[in-house]
Amino acid sequence: MRVNERIRASEVRLVGNKGEQLGVMPLAQALETARKHDLDLVEVAATAVPAVCRILNYGKYKYEQAKKERELRKRQKVSLLREVRLRPKIDNHDFEAKIRKVKKLLDGGDKVKVTVMFRGREITHLEFGWKLLQRSTELLKEVASVERQPMMEGRRMNVLLAPSSAQKAKMKEEREEGVKEA
């Protein structure tokens, strides 16, 4: 935003500090009006003809904008993409431990990419990876929804899982309860 002497327009439409229209006037006169009130002249709409300027305390305005932005960022939940890697010949117990880890990540609100990595000659048996991913999505169907079906990317086969809508509702309830307690 351009402020005071940085405004390039020769003629401006001026808006007062309480929102009242002060009319179209030369830039010098608008600057003089702003100085009389001990405030700044801020260009609000540069592309309008004539440019729209407003009289306000620019420091206070910037502070309020930063405050609003911080508040919005605080309320946002950042969803991360996490990855859990498997091998086609994984043992049952290890597989179950990985599934528990995926459930924990999904409960946290993150998306999870379950990847089966093929090394060497394992690539000739893609059906093992396919079955592994099908089994994992079947075990996780109550807490996750499949966002992207299993697909090959080079020597890796992966599926993308997101928290299910029921899971998201549960998380929202927990956050609201946390706000009420605080």
What is the domain extent for residue 172?
81-181
Model confidence at 76, pLDDT cuts 50, 70, 90, reads confident
Q: Flag whether pLDDT at 154 surpasses 60.
A: yes
Q: 67 vs 174, which has greater pLDDT?
A: 67
High-pLDDT (> 90) share of the chain, % = 68
Together in a domain, 122 and 171: yes
Q: 29 with 86, same domain?
A: no
75 belongs to a structural domain: no
Q: Long-range contacts of range 139-142, CB-CB < 8 Å, 24 or more positions apart?
A: 139/99, 140/99, 140/102, 140/103, 140/106, 142/166
By the 8 A CB rule, do 105 and 136 touch?
no
pLDDT recorded at residue 167: 66
51 burial via Cβ count (<10 Å: 0-12, 13-18, 19+):
buried
- Per-residue pLDDT tens for 110-149? 899 999 999 999 999 999 999 999 999 999 999 999 999 9
Are 116 and 163 in the same domain? yes
The mean pLDDT of the chain is 89
pTM: 0.56
Spatial CB neighbours of 101, under 8 Å, sequence gap ≥ 6: 84
Q: Indicate whether 107 and 150 sit together in one domain.
A: yes
Q: Tell me: do 48 and 95 sit in the same domain.
A: no
